Structure 1
Amino acid sequence: MIKFTQSMVQMKIFSFTILKRRAPYVRVILLTLLLLPTICYPAKAQKITQDNFNPIEMPVGHYIRELKALDDQGLLSIVEDFKATSIDPNQSTTLSLDECISVAFANNPSLKSEIELLKASRDRLIAASRSWNPTASIRGDSSVKNRTTNEITRAKQPNLSPSKRGYTRSSGSTSSYPQNLIGKLDWIFLDFSRQPKINAAASNYSAKRYGFYLASRRLIFDIQDIYYQLLATQELINSYKIIAESYKNIVLFNDSRFGAGRTHLGEVGQAHAQFFSTLSDLTQSIERYYALSNKLAKLVSLPGEPLILTEGENQFAGEWIFGLKESIDLAQLNNDRILVALETAKELNSEGIAQINQTLPSFSLTSRAILENSSSDSYKKIFTSGSSNAGSNSSETRRNFTFNNNTSYDISAGIFFNWRFYQGGVNDALASSAFARSKSEEFKAKDIRDELVASVRTSINALKSNRLKYISSDAAAQSARISYIASMARLNAGLSDVTTINQLVRLYQSSIRTEINAIQNYNIELARLYFDTAIWPKEAEGLALELLKATGLPR
């Protein structure tokens, strides 16, 4: 029996060491402190085998030395150092739930992405709506053409030497400046596929708007979920710390009783085992708090992403004022997931109608105005030099300049139609595909309605059950506390044993944990009801609409 007790203690410490080795990031100094006992105390590094549970008689002093070696590790102070390192106020910031939600709406990149998608959908709707407008265009061109000539003609005078014969030299240039300006106005005043396309774009914008609301509500719910878990975990850490200190006192008390011969080794080992097991629970809660704080920091998206510490206490967040039927009706009527699916179904249905209507003719009005202008100028110079006889010489210069300008215009207008009455059945196939996807979205909306009915029923029932759990666990904790006080008095009088004390402390610990979790689960289910019924909780009223207004988007 003594060997079994010692082996159980070793197994508890071995489990605690493994948990420590697998803990998330811890400073090098703390890791060294955790590994040092394993190096200094070889029994902790041994593997537990069946031989450890065989009843081998050993001197009592051997087991006392083992327990003393475990005590000398100072595991409680090591765990406290781990807590101080993991939850360092100097590397963290304390925010209330309201502040977390407000900061998240200002910084969260996922929410900003939804805003940009909403802007893109709005612009597509604007573009589709403007397809009713006529289009106008102007085209013009202008050019310059220039021609230059030079010509020399010599007279035939055989009786004169070549140097004295007469000649005519002419030079000139001609320039033309053609210009034209064409204005065109087109208006497709009748297109049977245009309005369905506009309707599809409008439904897409509505779906994206509901998608933004859905993303906002999901962000709020995720923050509430993690925040309530953090509050509960913080209270668990405080409770485990108090219980660990209580077990430490029981360990010291049993050690003194054992030294006085008033108890046996089994009770001493049992007290140590409960103490170290509580330290393991405490370490696990610290690790959980650190992980949850990191998740909350990611959602809030603070600059630098420091850890976020909670503000306030773990208490009931409020009451749900609606009954079951009202809650189900609200969820089926207002839930954004349903509205997104329905608007998507409308969009796809309109796209199918547009595909069918493209097989109908479209009518357009086209008018055109053409203005043409052609101007030209020419310049010519003629120089004549010649001799009629050997004793006379004459010359003559003539200049000529002309300018022409012609302008004309033409205006025409007409009504035209374009009818692609056969496209090989492509439009029919595309329309059928769109209608099928539209039906799929309608069935998806129905499936979401059924899912919400189950979720709302579960959440409302969970509110009641967690209230009852809290009341019963609180009564159990108070009863265990009273019994613990009475049993400690009996133990001091030698009328009770440590086993009874340990059972009462475990019962108290279990009741406290159930009580804390009941509050946490109640608050999470309450937040889920707000999410399912699309009601903004008081911490987030108006934030989504303010964000839409700030970005210039209509509701």
Structure 2
Amino acid sequence: MSSKLGAGWGDRGSMGGSGTGRPLASWILAGMVLGLGLGSGPVAGQPLPAASAGDVRRLERRWNELDRQIRALEELLPAEAEPLSGEGPTRPPLPEALLGPAEAGASPGTGERFVPLPPLALPEAGDLRPGQLQALSLEQSLAIGFANSPGLQARREAVAAALAELQSQMGTYWPRISAYANGGTDQASTSFFSPTGTGTLFAPSNPFFIPPGGRGSLNTNTNGIAGGLELRYALLDFARTPKVRAALARLRGSRLDYADSLRRLQLSLSESYYQLQRADQLVRIREAVVRNDLLILQDSLDLKQAGLVPRLDVLRRQAIEADGQEQLIAALAERAVARRRLAALLNLPPQLTPTASDPIRLQPRWPLDLEASLLASYRDNPELEALLATREALLRQKDAVAAELLPKLSLFASAGAGASNANNWNVRIADGGCCGSTVATSLNTYGSDWSVGLAVSWLLFDAGTTRGQARALARRGAAVAQQYAAQRNDIRLRIEQAFLGHEASLARLVAARRGVTASLEAFRDARLRYQAGLSSELDLSNTQERLIASLVQRLEATVNVNITYAQLLRELLPMPTDPDAAVPARLQWSP
């Protein structure tokens, strides 16, 4: 059987036909049966057991069923506009959405182009269409990100709010002076009746004499106005100083959070920029692979026409070229996503698409060892210092709440003046008169007053409300202490991961460079041998795959060196705590 199989395969010259007239499935089944026989044979030199006709029929039925299933799946795929003919190398067009703006249109640009949309605005129609590429260096990206980042701007607003809160608490050391004024008018109707009169108190001729049953009535309209100043000053308030210290600790914590946000933003921007560089380089590699596949495919077609290679080599090269096209499309999609990710971090206007203008440059080896890096990361770390400031603010707030149970002494003083006008009309008397007083038709009154004194207040009982609030704040401070311990461990883990990854990436890069050099030379030799008919297409394919893998590994190792360097910078790079201070776009750190 093996001799017939070899003869039939040699007569075919390709997979498209059979010199012996047997179908392809029969040859495959024969090889499978032969393989089964070889796998179960006793020892070398003994005759192989013959496969039964039933085994061959069962395998053939399974093969035909698998062939029907594959054809059914192919019918579900959309039909191609121009089916692959195999007469020459072809390259279908790439998706326009992945290509984006023309690379040649990238320009450095000016600062006015980087002004983002207002915080509460939305893009208008036409703004979201692919616009012009904006070439940016890493330092430019850092500067734009520090200026435009919404998250960083929110931190600046938080610092300003904490400063305003501190200023408001500092005002409690000063007296409070307020002015008051009031005015109004009212009208009243009054009726008088004296059933007994004034008796013997006054003689009938006395104007204050009221006869029994005397009565009268009148209407009064009064207009008045008053105004003055009032002063209140807390002479003794045990909660005032803790509140000020708590506000000061919150301000310090907000400033430290701002510095830590700068570190995190530096890392995010650096990683996004390096990933964009990686995506750009990967697109270049995939484009070179596709171009090379097209050249090799053309060589295969020429060699097939000359009768030097079978049709199998051409089909294999067509499959490899299609796979390279697929990898190129995936690389283009990854590059488009990397650009939008960087644009989102930079908060660029919607019509701008950033692209990396810097070539991939390798960062130097980290200057510290692991232990020195850990110790340096703990010193003046804004992430840890912010937790300490939060804990201090909670403890000072606890003291302020507990001080509410202590007495308070305050001074108060006020001075003012007032005036009023009263008009009486429609005065009526009956039965000898009423009221025993003179009724003036119009009366103007003026006056002033002042007061000064001390006030003492002391909360004696509130059913444990204040003490409960103080205990809650103390527990929150203890929770922040545990967060400090957890964050300390996280920082160590991040430092160790970044440091070990940095060292490993440098070692991988050295090995990858040797691999690229050797794979490139091997690919050149394999292609020359294939063109000369001294090597098979399978050797060429394996050598090409090894070269592509070496190029990608070198790219990954280079980018990982830079990313791990940026991760170490995130833990040690000093950043200002003042939002008004300039942010240095330093990409290297030295002790």
Q: TM-score, normalised by structure 1?
A: 0.72
Is 2:93 aligned against 1:78?
yes
Q: Corresponding residue for 1:523?
A: 562
Is 2:67 the counterpart of 1:51?
A: yes
Which residue of structure 2 lines up, in the alignment, with residue 232 of structure 1? 278
2:488 corresponds to which residue?
Answer: 449
The one of 366, 371, 376 aligned to 1:320: 366
2:331 maps to: 285
Residue 187 of structure 1 aligns with an amino acid whose one-letter code is: Y
The secondary structure found in structure 2 opposite 1:78 is coil
TM-superposed CA distance for 1:414, in Å, is 2.0
Aligned-pair CA distance for 1:237: 0.9
Q: State the match for 2:502 in structure 1.
A: 463
1:542: how far off?
10
Q: Which residue of 2 aligns with 1:203?
A: 249
d(CA) in 1 for partners of 2:65, 2:329: 26
Counterpart Cα distance in 2 of 1:511 and 1:216: 36
Give the equivalent residue in structure 2 for 1:98.
139
CA RMSD of aligned residues (A): 3.6
Distance 2:562 2:514 in 1: 21
Which residue of structure 2 aligns with residue 125 of structure 1? 166
Corresponding position of 1:546: 581
Which residue does 1:182 correspond to in 2? 228
Match of residue 524 from structure 2? 485
Counterparts in 2 of 1:175 and 1:278: CA distance versus 1, 3 Å: closer
Q: CA deviation at 1:463?
A: 1.2
Q: Is 1:472–2:511 an aligned residue pair?
A: yes
**Residues 366-399 of structure 1 deviation map (CA, whole Å, 9 limit, x = unaligned):** 1233445568999xxxxxxxxxxxxxxxxxxxxx
CA gap of 1:140–1:243, structure 2 versus 1, over 3 A, is closer
In the alignment, structure 1 residue 496 sits paired with structure 2 residue 531: no
The alpha carbon displacement at 1:79 in A equals: 2.9
The alpha carbon displacement at 1:545 in A equals: 4.5
Q: Is the 8 A contact 2:255 2:578 kept in 1?
A: no
Q: 1:197 to 1:140 in 2, by over 3 A?
A: same
Q: Relative to structure 1, is the Cα distance of residues 368 and 111 closer, same or farther in structure 2, using a 3 angstrom cutoff?
A: same
CA 1:547 to 1:122, structure 2 compared with 1: closer, same or farther past 3 Å? farther
Q: How many pairs align?
A: 447
Confirm or deny: 8 A CA contact 2:233 2:412 kept in the other structure: yes
Measure, in 1, the Cα distance between the counterparts of 2:371 and 2:166: 38
Where does residue 475 of structure 2 map in the other structure? 436
Q: Which residue of 2 aligns with 1:274?
A: 320
Measured after TM superposition, the shift of residue 413 of structure 1 is 2.3
Q: Residues 279 and 132 of structure 1: is their aligned pair in 2 closer, same or farther, counting only changes over 3 Å?
A: same
Structure with the higher helix share, 1 or 2: 1
Please list, as runs of the form range in 1=range in 2, the aligned pairs for 1:363-442 lying within 5 A after superposition: 363-372=409-418, 409-442=448-481
CA distance in 2, matches of 1:530, 1:243: 36
Q: In structure 2, do the counterparts of structure 1 residues 49 and 360 end up closer, same or farther at CA, with 3 Å as the change threshold?
A: farther
Equivalent in the alignment of 1:387: none
Q: Is the 8 A contact 1:487 1:496 kept in 2?
A: yes
**Which whole-Å deviations, capped at 9, do the CAs of 1:105-147 have from their partners, x for residues lacking one?**
3322222222222222211111111112111122234568999
SS of aligned partner of 1:334? coil
1:218-260 deviations in Å (ceiling 9; x for gaps): 2222111111011111111111111211121111111111121
- Corresponding letter in the other structure for 1:229: Q
Deviation sequence 1:9-45 (CA, Å, 0-9, x none): xxxxxxxxxxxxxxxxxxxxxxxxxxxxxxxxxxxxx
| Equivalent AA in structure 2 for residue 109 of structure 1 | P
8 Å CA contact 2:162–2:247 kept in 1: the answer is yes
Tell me the SS of whatever aligns to 1:302: coil
Contact persistence 1:335–1:534 (CA under 8 A): no
Q: Does the CA-based 8 Å contact 1:298-1:305 persist in structure 2?
A: no
In structure 1, stretches of 5+ residues that fail to align are 8-47, 55-65, 148-173, 379-400, 549-555
Partner of 1:383: none
Question: What amino acid does structure 2 have at the position aligned with 1:125?
Answer: L
Q: Kindly provide the CA deviation profile for residues 132-184 of structure 1, in whole angstroms up to 9, marking residues without a partner as x.
A: 2111122234568999xxxxxxxxxxxxxxxxxxxxxxxxxx99876544322
Q: CA deviation at 1:68?
A: 4.7
- Structure 2 alignment gaps of length 5 or more: 1-8, 17-23, 25-63, 71-81, 106-130, 189-219, 425-439, 584-591
Identical-residue share of aligned pairs (%): 19
SS of residue in 1 equivalent to 2:328: helix
| 1:322 positional shift | 2.7
1:92–1:306 Cα contact (<8 Å) kept: yes
Contact kept? 1:67, 1:269, Cα under 8 Å: no
The residue correspondences of 1:225-264 to structure 2 (distance < 5 A) are 225-264=271-310
**Structure 1 residues 142 and 266: CA distance shift in structure 2, 3 A:** closer
Q: Distance in 2 between matches of 1:409 and 1:296?
A: 71
Q: Distance in 2 between matches of 1:464 and 1:491?
A: 40
